[in-house]
Amino acid sequence: MFINQNKKKPHSYFMQLALGQAKKNLGNTRENPSVGCVVTKNNSVISIGCTSINGRPHAEQKALNLSKSKLKSSELYVTLEPCSHYGKTPPCTKLIIKKGVKKVFFSVNDPDKRSFNKSIYLLKKNKILVNKGNSENKLKYFYRSYIKYKTTPFPFVTCKIAVSNDFFTVNKKKEWITNSYSRSRVHLMRSYHDCIITSSQTIIKDNSKLNCRINGLRQRSPVKIILDNNLKIPINANVLNKKNKNRTIIFYNNFNKLKIKRLKNLGVKIYKVSLDSDKNLDLKEILTKLRKLGFQRVFVESGIKLTTNFLYNNLVDDFKLFISNKNLGKNGMYNIKKSLNKFLKNKKTIFDKVNLFGDKLITYKIK
């Protein structure tokens, strides 16, 4: 049963419902966009759908899974222009026509060249009214990662770092810097990114699992990407545990035949990449490879060195800064206030601020 719509602005309301559906599987649809779809008749919702985990079936296919008699003369609200090309599934545009939908509302054109603007022509040709809605800016922000994935050689990159109130990144006492609400938010972020990048140094230091440990979202843990130039990662590291169903990928440069064999026996995918001018693994080459592997949304969760490397190579789209309400003083290590201010001075656009019961989360829109 659905909540009664806003009768004064029904189109806006239905598109908001569709956006809510699209958000459900963000970061879990592989190379496909996460789309939401709402079907209405006589101004009442009769069906909804979202893109499934791993990208198929599409949102429209799920929402239109009713008899033609029930869908005849209905109106369809979808967050992204319906696909019009044949891939692993038939085009959604063809299904919309077949099911007797009379009007289609969407907000953002599909940047995929196989579909861009083509569905509009096909729908109108079959006497279906098409309306590009007024929620374009909001939906374009939601589809930033997919648009970048389709129009550039790189995936969308979000970097996260946590600091004390006096901007230290490490507590000498080996205690958490941020509170439990901030840490839960990080796990939520992991769930809507399809891969997470860290360094072998971070794995050696923390033996992180890099999974999502929120009940109900554990199966949405991202693929783990480890940057390990000399293949120093311990074979017994948590991220290499065979019980962990989410696979691990390692990028390296210095060849180690025995270690590579042992890692492959654990099911790890391994790729050799070049070094940049500073003798670090080439991040652009790594991101290009990840995009080719079908990763849209990359979450960087590592130490200050790798995070800084991403920032200063201008590879970050969104930057998430968690600030604790605690000062570490003499117990703090690696103060980044000056370097962070220097970087963000000319590039920062504060998009969002969230109060996390004492801690703060600031989102900077870098690109």
Assign 3 a pLDDT band (cuts: 50, 70, 90): very low
Q: What is the pLDDT, as a whole number, of residue 134?
A: 66
- pLDDT digits over 193-205, tens only? 999 999 999 999 9
245 confidence band (pLDDT: 50, 70, 90): low
**pLDDT, tens only, 164-219:** 999 999 999 989 999 999 999 999 999 999 999 999 999 999 999 999 999 999 99
Q: Is 355 exposed, middle or buried (0-12, 13-18, 19+ CB in 10 A)?
A: exposed
Q: In the structure, what pLDDT confidence band is assigned to residue 55 with cuts at 50, 70 and 90?
A: very high
Q: What is the pLDDT, as a whole number, of residue 300? A: 99
Q: How confident is the model at residue 348 (pLDDT cuts 50, 70, 90)?
A: low
Which tokens in the block code for residue 52?
């499934």
Residue range 114-154, pLDDT digits in tens? 988 899 999 999 999 999 876 677 899 999 999 999 999 99
Least confident of 9-13, 47-51, 151-155: 9-13
pLDDT at 318 over 60: yes
Strand 248-252 to 168-171 pairing? unpaired
Residue among 60, 75, 81, 301 flagged as catalytic: 60
Per-residue model confidence (pLDDT) at position 354 = 95
Interatomic CA distance for residues 101 and 41, integer angstroms: 10
Helices 304-312 and 337-344 cross at an angle (nearest 10°) of 20
* Residue 345, pLDDT above cutoff 80: no
Catalytic site includes residue 136? no
Q: Which domains does the chain show, CATH number per domain?
A: 10-149 (3.40.140.10), 152-365 (3.40.430.10)
The closest of 335, 336, 334, 333 to 172, measured between CA atoms, is: 333
